[in-house]
């Protein structure tokens, strides 16, 4: 073998992640649909125990990997949890993303604390996923949403699992709060709820159609004016063997607690529905409550809780009311559940997005860390900012992001 070839081979074999010169963002745009060989790009690594240290790191990091076509290894997955490693819902989410991107996974098994993902080309089509548990359907949607939307792939998802389960947004949150914000970025989806599923049985069934923006890249958004409270709507539900009167108790207690806790509530329309779900549209016995407040500027604030056997329906309602009142008392334009959901589209949009938030959650700071680690997006935080037309906003945080403009046609 010629001496020059030997030296070149040795250089390739000994080049590490810190020494390798990655393609620019513009180059990644042009290569995003092209398979990358192990020689051309080393495997990036992310410590899954950083900051919040939950499944969010895995979902966000692998979504960026699929979008930018960068091999990625996540280690210390959920290291601080009582049961570290992958649970069924995390496993099914990354397997769904791998199928959609025609990629490969290593270490993808329940309990694994390290997984490697080699993405390939995202292909439009129909894809199904079922963790076989009450694993959150909304989290599965979030795991694949932005790679599909940004790469222009019309994807239909047929998903089974839990629609209303703890530690994840309920399905209603996606349609009522998140969807209008996605439209502001230029993307959209439609969702058909066939059956609700609850812990522990699961059994929920949802069909989702993801609609990419007509033109790339995503557009930046500006949310700086909160407005005044204009309406409140919600749903109290029961199913199966749970006494239907529990829904009535939750509604009455919710209305009372809201009116007592926030004088502004007494001046607006409030519509809280109650329903006992038919077995044809819900699996298992459960109860719960969600409520959404909307302002004159279109800002929406969401709170919810699932009923528990050892908690009175009235107490469940008071917990939801307290959460909503807390959100309304802050001066942000999005609620605490929505902050981190906007980090990925902000990082991918072309231009500067500016959002007025309440105190940043640990989930939000974690999503920002992942975005800045894997892309060239830059975030800026200003506490108690001065906003044009509003003045100084005490207690709020101005969150700004200069996105990478992923998908923009550049020379």
- Point out the annotated binding site for ATP: 142, 337-341
Where is the binding site, in residues?
142, 337-341
Q: Which of 29, 90, 205, 363 is labelled catalytic? A: 363
Residue of 255, 237, 260 whose CA lies nearest to 293:
255
Hey, what's the torsion of the CAs at 373, 379, 380, 383, to 10 degrees? -90
301 neighbors 223 (Cβ within 8 angstroms): no
Peptide bond into 307 cis (omega under 30): no
- Per DSSP, the three-state class of 184 is helix
Spell out the alpha helix ranges (H) of 84-235: 88-100, 137-150, 171-173, 179-185
Contacts for 24 with CB less than 8 Å, ≥ 6 apart: none
**Is 363 considered catalytic here?**
yes
Burial class (CB in 10 A: 0-12, 13-18, 19+), 309: exposed
166 neighbors 198 (Cβ within 8 angstroms): no
Long-range contacts of 250-255 (CB under 8 A, 24+ apart): 250/274, 250/287, 250/289, 250/307, 250/313, 250/314, 250/316, 250/317, 251/289, 251/317, 252/314, 252/317, 253/313, 253/314, 253/315, 253/317, 253/318, 253/321, 254/289, 254/291, 254/317, 254/318, 254/320, 254/321
DSSP per-residue letters across 72-112: EEEESTTTTSSS-S--HHHHHHHHHHHHHTT-EEES-STT-
CA angle 129, 37, 347 (to 5 degrees): 60
Phi-psi label, residue 66: left if phi above 0, alpha if psi -120 to 50, beta otherwise: alpha
Residues assigned a catalytic role: 363
């Amino acid at each position: 073998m010629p001496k020059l070839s030997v030296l070149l081979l040795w250089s390739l074999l000994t080049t590490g992640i810190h020494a390798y010169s990655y393609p620019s963002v513009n180059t990644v745009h042009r290569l995003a649909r092209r398979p990358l060989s192990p020689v051309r790009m080393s495997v990036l690594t992310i410590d899954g125990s950083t900051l919040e240290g939950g499944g969010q790191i895995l979902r966000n990091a692998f979504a960026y990997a699929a979008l930018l076509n960068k091999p990625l290894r996540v280690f210390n997955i959920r290291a601080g949890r009582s049961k570290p490693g992958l649970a069924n819902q995390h496993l099914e989410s990354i397997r769904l993303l791998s199928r959609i991107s025609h990629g490969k996974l290593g270490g993808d098994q329940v309990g694994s604390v390290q997984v490697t993902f080699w993405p390939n080309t995202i292909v439009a089509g129909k894809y199904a996923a079922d963790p076989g548990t009450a694993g959150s359907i909304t989290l599965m949607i979030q795991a694949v949403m932005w790679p599909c939307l940004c790469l222009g792939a019309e994807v239909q998802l047929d998903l089974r699992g839990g629609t209303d389960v703890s530690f994840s947004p309920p399905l209603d949150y996606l349609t009522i709060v998140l969807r209008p914000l996605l439209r502001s970025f230029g993307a959209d989806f439609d969702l058909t709820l066939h059956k609700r599923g609850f812990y522990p049985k699961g059994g929920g069934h949802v069909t989702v159609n993801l609609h990419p923006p007509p033109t790339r890249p995503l557009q930046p958004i500006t949310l700086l004016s909160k407005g005044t409270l204009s309406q409140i709507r919600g749903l109290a539900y029961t199913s199966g063997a749970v006494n239907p009167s529990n829904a009535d108790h939750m509604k009455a207690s919710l209305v009372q607690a809201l009116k007592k806790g926030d004088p502004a509530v007494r001046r607006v329309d409030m519509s809280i529905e109650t329903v006992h779900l038919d077995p044809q549209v819900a699996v298992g016995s459960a109860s719960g409550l969600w409520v959404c407040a909307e302002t004159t500027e279109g800002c929406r604030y969401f709170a919810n809780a699932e009923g528990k056997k050892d908690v009175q329906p009235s107490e469940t309602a008071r917990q939801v009311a307290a959460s909503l009142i807390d959100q309304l008392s802050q001066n942000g334009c999005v609620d605490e559940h929505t902050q981190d959901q906007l980090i990925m589209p902000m990082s991918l949009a072309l231009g500067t997005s500016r959002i007025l938030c309440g105190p940043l959650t640990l989930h939000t700071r974690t999503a920002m860390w992942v975005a800045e680690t894997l892309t060239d997006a830059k975030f800026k935080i200003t506490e108690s900012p001065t906003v044009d037309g509003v003045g100084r906003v005490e207690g709020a945080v101005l969150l700004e992001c200069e996105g990478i403009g992923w998908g923009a046609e550049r020379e």
